[in-house]
Amino acid sequence: QVQLVQSGAEVKKPGASVKVSCKASGYTFTAYYMHWVRQAPGQGLEWMGWINPNSGDTNYAQEFQGRVTMTRDTSISTVYMELSRLRSDDTAVYYCARAAQMSSGPVVVYYYGLDVWGQGTTVTVSS
Amino acid sequence: SYELTQPPSVSVSPGQTASITCSGDKLGNKYTYWYQQKPGQSPVLVIYQDTKRPSGIPERFSGSNSGNTATLTISGTQAMDEADYYCQAWDSSTVVFGGGTKLTVL
């Protein structure tokens, strides 16, 4: 079955970096884009960006430009999201989510929604 | 930046129809997507491209989008539909989520 399995919970100090992994199975890894979405405690969903696992192309939300890096390792069907210079307000559950999507540069040609989500990774930033 | 506005909460009696709105400037010119999230769980896509249901989503979930407002409609609402619902659209190259609506079935 199609599945996204994320790495375990992390506790980090302010100023540190965190790298969350998302391992895909049950489908052709390079055929779907991967998005990252986070949710602070008791808050709504916040989009962080996407990566095209086939090409490695990325598109980041402006709020995270310069702090976030999304990469992939096609040999193990895994994408990674690294967030640097952590602050207390980065405390959140981080989700990866798959999308049937085609983009030309940052422009979306087609997109069918985030149809499979990982289980979420809790990142706590505290001194 | 583009904003999507949802009511914080909606209440409905079991068996009745629930309507959750999502408003944004000329939203009808964009596709809207809807996600359901139950406490402690990951979101689930329930409507894509305004009106389409993914496989496995019950027929009681439907969507529409016109003008400045998209609407998620749940017909014959069941207790299991109690959850937070988020709308989503694209603004240029950016994914935008609404603030979410808590649906209470009482």
Pick the residue of A33, A37, A98 with the most B CBs within 10 A to test the interface with B by mutation.
A37
Is residue A104's pLDDT more than 90? Answer: no
Buried b / exposed e across B94-106, counting CB within 10 Å, b at 16+? bbbbbbbbbbebe
Is residue A13's pLDDT more than 90? Answer: yes
How high is the mean pLDDT of chain B?
A: 97
**Which has more pLDDT, A8 or A111?**
A8
| CB contact A109 to B (< 8 Å) | no
Q: Write down the pLDDT at residue A106.
A: 80
Contacts of A95 in chain B (CB under 8 A): 42-43
Exposure of A104 by Cβ count < 10 A (0-12 exposed, 13-18 middle, 19+ buried)? Answer: exposed
CA–CA–CA angle A103, A109, A113 (5° rounding): 85
Q: Write down the pLDDT at residue A102.
A: 87
Structure tokens at B12: 């409905």
Give how far the C-alpha of residue B77 lies from the chain's centroid of Cα atoms, to the nearest Å: 14
Q: Write down the pLDDT at residue A77.
A: 98
- What residue in B sits closest to A107 (Cα-Cα)? B93
Taking a C-beta distance cutoff of 8 angstroms, is the pair B13, B70 a contact?
no
**Averaged over B91-106, what is the pLDDT?**
96
How many CB pairs below 8 Å do chains A and B form together?
Answer: 59
**Averaged over A83-108, what is the pLDDT?**
94
